[in-house]
Structure 1
Amino acid sequence: MPDFSLPTVLITGATSGFGLATARKFADNGYPLILTGRRVERLTALADELAQLTPVFTYQLDVRDAEQLLRFMDAIPDEFKRIEVLVNNAGLALGASPADEADLNDWHTMIDTNVTGLVNVTHTLLPVLKAQPKASIINLASIASNWSYPGAHVYGASKAFVQQFSRNLRSDFAGTGVRVTSLEPGLSESEFSLVRFNGDQDKYNAIYEDSNPLQPEDIADIIFWIAEQPSHININSLEVMPTSQAWDNFKVVKG
């Protein structure tokens, strides 16, 4: 018999990077999982892998589509509906060139995914989360929420939205069982960066060479730790960098 003694964890963007590692972390600890993503083949493979450990429900979902989210909620089996943890992981960065060289379509895609998508998912899940005695919303922001750097333009701005949205949600739900965290990773090695560089493996390799970056499993461990905190504790925000990285971009351009 499937074990539903623990509440359900819902992870968006679960087919790669932080989302994939987080799904595996919670599965290893027996939490039922709802996993969403746009790549159905990867979702199917992940469900097959993790079903050996815990109940898993997958759904092909584009978080930008609010109507699709409503269909998704209707499709969730009853036994999975005790959702206590929402990990808003779906997001992306596109391009690292200066703003005047950026593709406007890339800007729109980042806003639609990182901002609109996160808002869509959160708004849809709030009634379910509020019904639980203890719930966690863990939003994946970035050090780009706090620090500007060349080429971050819309990506950094979208993650600053995630951070401030998290704070405002936290204010709305103070004194309730709903906890909200903005998690802000620094240099992390994952498919995320390959997407940003449009599949350019050489650029990807140059970023991570000899840098000992964070790994998706590191972030998954942190997400699990946040969710496992006692109900009277809220981790408001958490900025995490590899030891090889610091605030070293405040350079004066002379000329």
Structure 2
Amino acid sequence: MKTALITGATSGIGKATAELLAKNGYRLILCGRRTEVLAHIKSELSTATEVFTLNFDQRFFAEVETAIGSLPKEWQDIDVVINNAGNAHGLESLEDGKIEDWDAMMDGNVKGILYVSKLLIPGMKAKKNGHFVNISSVAARQTYANGVVYCASKRAVDVISEGMRLELTEFGIKVTNIQPGLVETDFSKVRFKGDEERAETVYQGYEALKPEDIADAISYCISAPKHVAISDLTIYPSAQSEPRTVYKNL
């Protein structure tokens, strides 16, 4: 039985992926910041598979190192890492942007992937097998006004994925970079500081992607034959033609 570690597993794409991989027979290491939510998801999924939870904030290396270092020996052989955790904060111009929002995005979206990957690469290299799936965004493909820092953080994910592929392919480790378009999750609610009414307008007038759609794509990528490596995958809802253009029927 293979073991998958998923960051940001308490909601959205991470939670949907955990649910699907549980059905597909993976053991799961679920990572997140909300202890009570992790416990609830563990309870739900433990009827289908073995589940271990790690509570940490990936913006802080000491927390990541302590959490991963606490894994019991029987959970240290990890086959798949899904670097899903990330965030978007604010939708202001650079001059009006808040430093704490910038720090949250750069620390969570960029440093977090680096911290988690750094600690898990050695184990995969030792056994010459493994798979990293990094969740980027179509925002990496086209910068948009008032989202410069978020776009920069996601483009960094693309660059990190490319670099990991260059460094790890010779060791039998696959690296997949997934760029979702608009997915209906708590993403916009977080970006708009809990303004649910404003967040809902983002997804009105068309059918956005669901977290389960991205989970399906992740499942395909990690279950492909050994000789097949999906390097980059961009997924839009059918109503979205590029990061800034969505055709709505309102």
The answer to whether the 8 Å contact 2:142/2:243 transfers is: no
The one-character-per-residue Cα deviations of 1:164-201 (angstroms, maximum 9, x if unpaired) are: 11011111122321011110000110012210111111
Aligned counterpart, 1:131: 126
Q: 1:107 aligned to 2:102?
A: yes
The answer to whether the 8 Å contact 2:134/2:177 transfers is: yes
For 2:223 and 2:216, how far apart are their aligned partners in 1?
Answer: 11
For 2:244 and 2:132, how far apart are their aligned partners in 1?
Answer: 31
For 2:27 and 2:93, how far apart are their aligned partners in 1?
Answer: 43
Q: From 221, 230, 241, give the equivalent of 1:235.
A: 230
Displacement of 1:140 after TM fit? 0.4
The percent identity for this pair of structures is: 39
For 1:68 and 1:149, how far apart are their aligned partners in 2?
Answer: 33
For 1:59 and 1:169, how far apart are their aligned partners in 2?
Answer: 24
The answer to whether the 8 Å contact 1:36/1:60 transfers is: yes
Aligned counterpart, 1:253: none
Displacement of 1:249 after TM fit? 4.1
Aligned counterpart, 2:248: none
Q: From 36, 50, 57, give the equivalent of 1:55.
A: 50
Q: 1:160 aligned to 2:165?
A: no
Aligned counterpart, 1:180: 175
The answer to whether the 8 Å contact 1:177/1:231 transfers is: no
Q: From 64, 72, 88, give the equivalent of 2:83.
A: 88
Displacement of 1:72 after TM fit? 1.5
Aligned residue-pair number = 245
Aligned counterpart, 1:3: none
For 2:168 and 2:69, how far apart are their aligned partners in 1?
Answer: 25
Aligned counterpart, 2:146: 151
Give structure 2 stretches of 5+ with no counterpart.
246-250
For 1:95 and 1:248, how far apart are their aligned partners in 2?
Answer: 17
> What TM-score does the superposition give when structure 2 sets the normalisation length?
0.94
> What TM-score does the superposition give when structure 1 sets the normalisation length?
0.93
Q: From 218, 221, 235, give the equivalent of 1:223.
A: 218
Q: 1:118 aligned to 2:137?
A: no
Aligned-partner residue type, residue 193 of structure 1: S
Q: From 186, 206, 209, give the equivalent of 1:211.
A: 206
Displacement of 1:16 after TM fit? 0.5
Secondary structure of residue in 2 paired with 1:175: helix
Please tell me the root mean square deviation across aligned C-alpha atoms, in Å. Answer: 1.3
Aligned counterpart, 1:69: 64
TM superposition outliers: structure 1 runs of 4+ over 3 Å: none
For 1:248 and 1:120, how far apart are their aligned partners in 2?
Answer: 28
Give structure 1 stretches of 5+ with no counterpart.
1-5, 251-255
The one-character-per-residue Cα deviations of 1:108-127 (angstroms, maximum 9, x if unpaired) are: 11001111111000101101
